[in-house]
Amino acid sequence: MALGVTAVPFTYVVHVLGVVAIILVLVWNIHFRGGLAWDSDNKNLIFNLHPVLMILSLIFLGGEAIISYKSLPLKKEVKKVIHLTLHAIALALGIFGISAAFKNHNESGIANLYSLHSWLGISVISLYGIQWLYGFVIFFFPGGTPAIRRESLPWHVLFGLFVYVLAIATASLGFLEKLTFLENSGLAKYGSEALLVNFTAVITILFGAFVVLSAISDAPPAEDDYAPI
């Protein structure tokens, strides 16, 4: 599916919203929630790594990886390496971010995988891993036959966008769940922290929307589309 409009202006919006989302999630967890730590007696600091790493990884880097074909005027082969490398970093940091949530639960005596958010989260990271492996084997190394690549490509795009939208939905549920926990423990419902968390979620959703818009719009001409005169 293609919108018939050029993707480049949408990709600028993606970069700006992505940087804003990262700044907001950092301000929330460092300024309002006390900071980030992998090892600490204050187990909340371990949890704080979770939203920060998830927004940085699957959401921001994953989004940038998806739009790399639409935002960069480079050769197709170069864009492919950028695409798979950004996704690999996103996957690794995403696994690290989920480990932080598990570590926080295990060290605080909290049950694992009891919520819809956590079920969708495990599904998203598993599907993301499967999608990356399939893409690597078919489109990069050792590479499928031309017929397999041709038939796989629309499914790769469709499934990739499905997993990405699921990641945005999962992150939104995460913001909702954490803010509900905090409000139930006394956080002011209209206080600055509550507004910041909701605003961060809205920016995350807008970011995801512009990633999808960019993905279904037209790429700029690739460097290797031009034949020498």
- Closer to ligand HEM by CB, 12 or 162: give it: 162
Taking CA atoms, 168 is separated from 21, 107, 128, 208, in Å, by 12, 27, 13, 6
- Closer to ligand HEM by CB, 102 or 140: give it: 102
Q: From the CB of 118, what's the least distance to ligand HEM, in Å?
A: 3
- Tell me the CB-side half-sphere exposure of residue 57, using CA atoms within 13 A: 23
- Closer to ligand HEM by CB, 93 or 215: give it: 93
Euclidean distance between the first and final Cα of the chain, in Å?
Answer: 32
Give yes or no for a contact between 117 and 177, defined as CB atoms under 8 angstroms apart. yes
- Name, in order, each residue with C-beta under 8 angstroms of 189's C-beta and a sequence gap of 6 or more: 183
- Contact footprint for ligand HEM (CB under 6 A): 50-51, 54-55, 58, 98, 101-102, 105, 112-113, 115, 117-118, 121-122, 124-125, 167, 170-171, 174-175, 177-178
- Closer to ligand HEM by CB, 43 or 156: give it: 43
- Closer to ligand HEM by CB, 167 or 211: give it: 167
Q: From the CB of 11, what's the least distance to ligand HEM, in Å?
A: 21
Q: Return the HEC string of 87-117.
A: HHHHHHHHHHHHHHHHHHHHHHCCCCCCCHH
Give yes or no for a contact between 18 and 71, defined as CB atoms under 8 angstroms apart. no
Look at residue 218 and give its three-state secondary structure.
strand
